Chains A and B, each alone.
Chain A
Amino acid sequence: MSAVGYAAVAVQTGAVVGGAPLLTGLMRQVRARLEGRAGAGVLQPWRDTRKLLRREPIAPVGTGPAFRTAPALLVATTLVVGSLVPLLSTDTPVAGRADLILVVALLALGTVTLALAGLDTGTAFGGMGSSREMTIAALVEPTLLMAVLALSLPAGTTNLPAIVADAVRDPSRLASPAGLLAAAALTVAVLAETGRLPLDNPSTHLELTMVHEAMVLEYAGRDLALVELGAQMRLAVLLGLLASLFTPWGIATSASAAGLALALVALAAKVALLGTVLAAAEVFWAKLRLFRVPELLAGSFLLALLAVAASYFLSGE
């Protein structure tokens, strides 16, 4: 068990690191094609990362350790989350530690480090970005935890592999009102957490609309590569998590090499599909005004609350 289990963690982490830029490349390509452009190709984010890694990082005058360590910390938190969540197998050596609340908190830690880095630059943009990011993060947290509650109620635990394994055993639970509502709530929270449209525009460089970009304006070279990689990995992990939670088919529930290979293919297909759908949807969405964002998040929170209520009142019969 243990050799395959460790292999599962290693393959999953490798897939997240290696696949995240490809996912972003795929989404950009889909978007480009839908907008009638040729696009730069699926591999372009990898080329960008390689190019940036070869350039020296810059230490702007007046910044301190918070600015310098934030990119590595962002990647580190996402790496830990990427190895914890059950993307390929529910039977891994770390399965007992993959707590949903811990995952939410680790992602928030990444957000906080980047927001501190934005403040550390002492520029108006950095402060603006981190102020907006923390406002959104403060509102996303209740939604995420409420969705967590809705998901963990039927399974009776907050342990992620247990929730996923439970869903594999009893797929009818996914189509229940509670499951669907929780899926909708979690999707909105994931969009907010990864800074996608309609909450934040990842490709903008217009100061009035920037949230994430404003915080990382001062980064260059290696640091910028890490920040970009961190953001791409977050997207990949969270889309993978959505796929595992709500379409768990194909995931390996026991430790076997063949199951692992199948799970990898299934994961790639599911995440690619989700990414394509998201990219296609983004073509038709406009970014929300910053102060309309709370309304969207409040709606999503309400969905999560309804999911909890539904799972409570509809489960007894």
Chain B
Amino acid sequence: MNAVAAGLGAAAGFGALGATAGAVLPPRPRLPVAGVCTAGVGAAGCAAGVAALGGAGWSVRLPGLLPLAGTVWSVDALSGLFMAVAGAVVTAVAVYGIGYASGHGDHGLASRAAQAVLPFFALALILVPAAASVSTFLVLWELTALSSLLLVLVEHRERPAVRSAGVWYAVMAHLGLVLLLAGLALFAAHAGGEGFEELRRHADELPPAVRGTVFVLTGAAFASKAGAVPLHAWLPRAHPEAPGPVSALMSAAMVNLGVYGIVRTGFDLLGGGPAWWWLGVMTVGGLSAVHGILQAAMASDLKRLLACSTAENLGLVLVGTGAAGLFAASGDGPLAALALAAALLHLVNHAAFKALLFTAAGSVVRATGVRDLDRLGGLRARMPLTAGLFAVGALGAVALPPGNGFAGEWLLLQSLIHGMELPGVAVAVVLPLSVAFIALSAGIAAAVFVKALGIAFFARPRGGQAAHAHESPPPMLAGMGLLAVACAGLALAPGLLGPGLDRAVAAAGPRGAVPVTREGLGVRLHDIEATLSPLWVVAALTGALVLATVVPRWYGTRRRRTNARLWDCGGGAPTPRMAYTATSFAEPLQRVFDNVLAPEQDVDVTHARESAYLVERVRFRNRVPDRIEHRLYEPVLGALARTGRNARRLANGSVHLYLGYGFLGLLALFVVLAVGR
């Protein structure tokens, strides 16, 4: 039997078992049983994905599963990559989730409904890339959206913000669905069939305008799922409000599906397209990267910060995808393959470190009940393991050498730098700017994660909750440990992914040479002279660190470190209130990007009643609203609300008026029919 089919079958079985267990079991055995089943879904999905990456293909038609259209499934290496990533994330997060939901009774994530939906969500995440017809794909797509929406809402009793986030998420997800439905329906209507096989075969016969429309419609929907501007508004709302494991699944596995969609439709189904498609993707990606990381720099909510960083990283992935399309349109296959491989490698790395960061942030929230960095601090002493694991994730997120984020960004920069040799003014303008955007987002990302790690975990507690935190239970640590091992593996040996990436890129379609090969656990490019071997970097750094530690000790004093109180320029023993907070840490950056961010500052001065010269109270408020939301969403929402209020006058309760509307409607229909004929 085919390994992919066996894996997917096992995942479906575990999913059904887990959902049933979550729905019927009493609270005590519910969590471990449903959790283990969800982990099984992940492991089986990951195994199926790895088998597909290894070259095993599989496709089947199951007509009975869905009325009318039936279902079509097909797994190639590209699907395999996304399935493997989602499966691995699901496995680790499911183990983590057993601990996260325990000890809180029957509420929130431990509730019957949540535990029944969670395995479904996990299964849908793994199955989306396996769908091979428009109807199958849309059903699964909607299933991920609905199940994740239910999971985002589980804590709605505790915080009112959850409900508002849920509304935003529901509306944006379904707007995306409408766009997707329109785009794919148009595509299927012109291709004369809705199976991906037919779409692929007839894509070349479509008129250019239709192809462009299909790409723009589906691209907008997929980009919204990936949190790209300007359709990103749901992401920094829904991801922070979801419980820890759900945020991790959404940020590390669900957003990837947006990239999958763009790669699948853009490269595979439509077979590539003109340069303007891909310039659009690159622009959107670059803007999302910088916008996301700037919002993250201003955020003082730990989970919002991570969510904005997700938008940034997916933006970088989109830059790589767009560059791949641009190079393919210019006829340079090998470079296109390299750029796409870079994008996919960064996506895999992002999934690993972002799942780790979100689970670690979930541990912090579970231990303290606080997400506000300004009230955290000093957790290193109370939660040393969580702090260490968060540091591993943060090292990946800043994209600096021993971390796992570096290889992907390095490969992306290499592909952009070498793309400059291609002709065309668009290339000459867009590529340097893309490099600048990547560099700027990498620079700000360093500041963001120094802030997240340094303010939340270092120094001393800034609030009572942080001072009384406790280390997380073993299942949570085990789940995070799995993710940290994945991060370390990806950081040390990205070359191991080489053959799989090659197959995935080849399956996606930009035809060209094999870009990345395995050599000494490093990345070496075939037609480009550049080598990176992370293992060597780590070895060199370790050697240098040993030298820098041992030589001064051998030469200088061997006396032990003495403990002393903080000097602080003679001030001595500062209180936690005197330490820098996240807001003050980000203040210089806020000033530098003042024109872009447009922060709102209010100073309220209350004067004493006796004299205007005496001040009784001063209140200062600083808010950095999302400017795109401010400029784009608020006018649209306002116009909608006005239209709604005005439309109310149309329905004043008079039956005669309603009969008149019916008559007019019928008349208009007749006119349309008569003219249309």
Binding site for B on A (CB under 8 A): 53-64, 66, 68, 71-73, 75-77, 79-80, 83, 96-97, 99, 101-102, 105-106, 108-109, 111-112, 115-116, 118-128, 130-132, 134-135, 137-142, 144-146, 149, 152-153, 156-159, 162, 207, 217-218, 221-222, 225-226, 290-291, 294, 301, 305, 308-309, 312-313
**25 A-B pairs whose Cβ atoms sit less than 8 Å apart in the complex:** A56-B562, A60-B567, A61-B566, A62-B378, A64-B380, A73-B548, A102-B410, A105-B401, A106-B537, A115-B454, A119-B450, A119-B454, A121-B568, A122-B459, A122-B579, A125-B569, A127-B459, A134-B447, A137-B443, A137-B446, A145-B439, A159-B529, A218-B566, A291-B592, A294-B592
| Interfacial residues of chain B within 89-134, with CB under 8 A of chain A in the complex | none
Q: B404-427, CB under 8 A of A: which get 1 and which 0?
A: 001000100110011011000000
Whether B547 is near chain A, meaning CB under 8 Å from some CB there, is yes
* In the complex, chain A residues whose CB is within 8 Å of the CB of B552: 53, 222, 225-226
Asked whether A309 lies within 8 Å of B432 as measured between CB atoms, the reply is yes
Report the separation of the CA atoms of residues A125 and B570 in the bound assembly, to the nearest whole angstrom.
12
Write the chain A residue with the least CB distance to B579.
A122
Whether B210 is near chain A, meaning CB under 8 Å from some CB there, is no
* In the complex, chain A residues whose CB is within 8 Å of the CB of B213: none
Asked whether B447 lies within 8 Å of A135 as measured between CB atoms, the reply is yes
Q: Which of A119, A225, A308 contacts B459 (CB 8 A)?
A: A119
Asked whether A312 lies within 8 Å of B436 as measured between CB atoms, the reply is no
Asked whether B417 lies within 8 Å of A153 as measured between CB atoms, the reply is yes
Q: Which of B398, B540, B591 contacts A80 (CB 8 A)?
A: B540
User: At the interface with chain A, which of B75-83, B364-372, B582-590, B642-650?
Assistant: B582-590
* In the complex, chain B residues whose CB is within 8 Å of the CB of A153: 417, 420
Report the separation of the CA atoms of residues A192 and B284 in the bound assembly, to the nearest whole angstrom.
31
Report the separation of the CA atoms of residues A115 and B398 in the bound assembly, to the nearest whole angstrom.
13
User: At the interface with chain A, which of B299-307, B322-330, B509-517, B553-561?
Assistant: B553-561
Asked whether A64 lies within 8 Å of B557 as measured between CB atoms, the reply is no
Whether B147 is near chain A, meaning CB under 8 Å from some CB there, is no
Q: Which of B400, B531, B544, B574 contacts A112 (CB 8 A)?
A: B400
Q: Which of B446, B530, B564, B580 contacts A59 (CB 8 A)?
A: B564
Asked whether A139 lies within 8 Å of B592 as measured between CB atoms, the reply is yes
Asked whether A131 lies within 8 Å of B580 as measured between CB atoms, the reply is yes
Min Cβ gap B457→A in Å is: 9
Q: Which of A53, A59, A149, A305 contacts B563 (CB 8 A)?
A: A59
Report the separation of the CA atoms of residues A61 and B573 in the bound assembly, to the nearest whole angstrom.
9
Write the chain B residue with the least CB distance to A295.
B592
Binding site for A on B (CB under 8 A): 377-378, 380-381, 398-402, 406, 410, 413-414, 417-418, 420-421, 428, 432, 435-436, 438-440, 442-444, 446-447, 450-451, 453-455, 458-460, 528-533, 536-537, 540-541, 544-545, 547-549, 552-553, 555-557, 559-569, 571, 574, 576, 578-580, 584-589, 591-592
* In the complex, chain A residues whose CB is within 8 Å of the CB of B400: 105-106, 108-109, 112
Asked whether B440 lies within 8 Å of A141 as measured between CB atoms, the reply is yes
State the main secondary structure of chain B at its contact with A. helix
Write the chain B residue with the least CB distance to A55.
B557
Min Cβ gap B392→A in Å is: 13
> Known: A66-B458, A312-B420. Is A79-B547 also a contact (CB below 8 A)?
yes
* In the complex, chain A residues whose CB is within 8 Å of the CB of B454: 66, 115-116, 118-120, 130
Report the separation of the CA atoms of residues A97 and B540 in the bound assembly, to the nearest whole angstrom.
11
Asked whether A149 lies within 8 Å of B544 as measured between CB atoms, the reply is no
Min Cβ gap B486→A in Å is: 21
* In the complex, chain B residues whose CB is within 8 Å of the CB of A96: 531
Q: Which of A99, A128, A130 contacts B530 (CB 8 A)?
A: A99
> Known: A56-B562, A135-B588, A217-B568. Is A76-B410 also a contact (CB below 8 A)?
no
> Known: A123-B568, A138-B589. Is A159-B447 also a contact (CB below 8 A)?
no
Min Cβ gap B442→A in Å is: 6
Report the separation of the CA atoms of residues A39 and B418 in the bound assembly, to the nearest whole angstrom.
50
Report the separation of the CA atoms of residues A128 and B579 in the bound assembly, to the nearest whole angstrom.
9
Asked whether B421 lies within 8 Å of A138 as measured between CB atoms, the reply is no
User: Which 3 interchain pairs have the tightest Cβ spacing?
Assistant: A127-B580, A122-B459, A119-B454
> Known: A124-B574, A140-B443. Is A146-B568 also a contact (CB below 8 A)?
no
Asked whether A149 lies within 8 Å of B417 as measured between CB atoms, the reply is yes
* In the complex, chain B residues whose CB is within 8 Å of the CB of A138: 440, 443-444, 446-447, 589
Write the chain B residue with the least CB distance to A144.
B439
Asked whether B450 lies within 8 Å of A142 as measured between CB atoms, the reply is no
Asked whether A124 lies within 8 Å of B568 as measured between CB atoms, the reply is yes
> Known: A66-B458, A158-B530. Is A106-B401 also a contact (CB below 8 A)?
yes
> Known: A54-B556, A135-B592. Is A125-B436 also a contact (CB below 8 A)?
no
> Known: A96-B531, A112-B400, A137-B446. Is A102-B537 also a contact (CB below 8 A)?
yes
* In the complex, chain B residues whose CB is within 8 Å of the CB of A217: 567-569
> Known: A60-B565, A64-B381. Is A112-B591 also a contact (CB below 8 A)?
no
Write the chain B residue with the least CB distance to A58.
B564
Write the chain B residue with the least CB distance to A72.
B548
Write the chain A residue with the least CB distance to B566.
A60
Asked whether B406 lies within 8 Å of A105 as measured between CB atoms, the reply is yes
Question: Which of B410, B418, B585, B591 has the most chain A CB atoms inside 10 A of its CB?
Answer: B585
Q: Which of A61, A66, A101 contacts B565 (CB 8 A)?
A: A61
* In the complex, chain A residues whose CB is within 8 Å of the CB of B443: 108, 137-142
Report the separation of the CA atoms of residues A56 and B558 in the bound assembly, to the nearest whole angstrom.
8
Report the separation of the CA atoms of residues A305 and B431 in the bound assembly, to the nearest whole angstrom.
11
Question: Which of B450, B560, B561, B562 has the most chain A CB atoms inside 10 A of its CB?
Answer: B450
Report the separation of the CA atoms of residues A121 and B380 in the bound assembly, to the nearest whole angstrom.
12
Min Cβ gap A51→B in Å is: 10
Report the separation of the CA atoms of residues A27 and B559 in the bound assembly, to the nearest whole angstrom.
33
Min Cβ gap B546→A in Å is: 8
Q: Which of B406, B562, B566 contacts A122 (CB 8 A)?
A: B566
Min Cβ gap B460→A in Å is: 5
Asked whether A101 lies within 8 Å of B591 as measured between CB atoms, the reply is no
Min Cβ gap B434→A in Å is: 10
Q: Which of B428, B439, B574, B588 contacts A141 (CB 8 A)?
A: B439
* In the complex, chain A residues whose CB is within 8 Å of the CB of B438: 145
* In the complex, chain A residues whose CB is within 8 Å of the CB of B413: 101, 145, 158
